[in-house]
Amino acid sequence: LSSSATYTVPPVVLLLGPENAGKTALATLLERGTKPAPTHTSQVTQSVELNASTDSDLKQSFRNHDDATGTYTKFLLVDTPGHGKLRNVAMGRLGRSAEKLKAIVFMVDAAALGEQETLAPTATYLYDVLLHLQKRAGDKSKPRAAVSVLVAANKMDLFTALPAAMVKSHLENELTRIRASKSKGLLDSGVGMDDIGSEEQDAWLGEYGSDKFSFRQMPEFDIDVEVLGGSVMADDADVDKWWWWIAQRV
């Protein structure tokens, strides 16, 4: 082994979420520090290198690049494609064990989440992500650091946007429904009655046997989930809350 190569892996924040949520717009906004770039459907993951501070004067602003008053931590923000057909690309990135994964920003389109045709696939994706993290936490052979999940409720500038509290309750309701239907599927699949206990528990998101899913059930598995609203494309981008959430976790 060469001793001269000192090589540190930067912390990673993974940007996940369904297509059209605004992930690439956010990544370009944070990279440029001014305005987002025009985007088109992403087909590959794209990393941008960013620096966040928790002690500079402008620490809570994503426009703090020229602020020399504090210390900065370099991290990679990894933008992923949201299209359902490319889900393996994004989930594969989530499964990369060599990375120092600190946090996940799961972005949703708050202006479209009132429609079942957006809510259902969005919640299904979120379910898969949370279940992946929950299983990972349960794998005691590979102890890993806790992961924080931010549900970034984007497009708050649009009048159809649901407020963050409603984004949260809509998602929790839909996750409850998905969990119940998955559990029923397992019961119907003819798995032997003796096996069902552990199999079902492994595939069950959150507190086993609870009637209603809530994000509050996730800290049990070292996963904390927070929902915060914002907008990337408004005349004056409103993403500082997300930025500050990220800065505290990298």
Q: Which does 134 bind (CB under 5 to 8 A by kind): Mg ion, ligand GTP, none?
A: none
On whether the CB atoms of residues 77 and 27 are closer than 8 A, the answer is yes
Q: Which does 63 bind (CB under 5 to 8 A by kind): ligand GTP, Mg ion, none?
A: none
On whether the CB atoms of residues 30 and 50 are closer than 8 A, the answer is yes
Taking CB under 5 A as the rule, does residue 154 contact Mg ion?
no
Taking CB under 6 A as the rule, does residue 34 contact ligand GTP?
no
Residue nearest to ligand GTP as judged by C-beta position = 82
The DSSP symbol for 43 reads: -
Taking CB under 5 A as the rule, does residue 134 contact Mg ion?
no
Taking CB under 6 A as the rule, does residue 39 contact ligand GTP?
yes
CA atoms within a 13 Å half-sphere pointing along the CA-CB vector of 216: 4
Taking CB under 6 A as the rule, does residue 93 contact ligand GTP?
no
Return the number of the residue (17 or 206) whose C-beta is nearest ligand GTP. 17
Q: Which does 233 bind (CB under 5 to 8 A by kind): Mg ion, ligand GTP, none?
A: ligand GTP
Taking CB under 6 A as the rule, does residue 42 contact ligand GTP?
yes
For the record, the structure tokens of 199 come out as 């199999």
User: Helices 164-188 and 116-138, interaxial angle, to 10°?
Assistant: 70
CB count, 10 Å around CB of 65? 14
Rounded to a whole number of angstroms, the minimum distance from the CB of residue 210 to ligand GTP is: 31
End-to-end CA distance of the chain: 29
Please report, as residue ranges, which positions from 89 to 128 form the binding site for Mg ion (by CB under 5 A).
none
CB count, 10 Å around CB of 187? 12
Rounded to a whole number of angstroms, the minimum distance from the CB of residue 42 to Mg ion is: 3
Q: What distance in Å separates the CA atoms of residue 171 and residue 127, rounded to the nearest whole number?
A: 10
Q: What distance in Å separates the CA atoms of residue 13 and residue 75, rounded to the nearest whole number?
A: 7
Taking CB under 6 A as the rule, does residue 82 contact ligand GTP?
yes
Taking CB under 6 A as the rule, does residue 160 contact ligand GTP?
no
Please report, as residue ranges, which positions from 16 to 55 form the binding site for Mg ion (by CB under 5 A).
23-24, 42
Taking CB under 6 A as the rule, does residue 118 contact ligand GTP?
no
Strand 100-109 to strand 147-154: parallel, antiparallel, or no bridges (unpaired)? parallel
Strand partners, 53: 72
Q: What distance in Å separates the CA atoms of residue 249 and residue 184, rounded to the nearest whole number?
A: 37
Return the number of the residue (79 or 172) whose C-beta is nearest Mg ion. 79
Taking CB under 6 A as the rule, does residue 25 contact ligand GTP?
yes
Q: Which does 229 bind (CB under 5 to 8 A by kind): ligand GTP, Mg ion, none?
A: none
Contact footprint for Mg ion (CB under 5 A): 23-24, 42
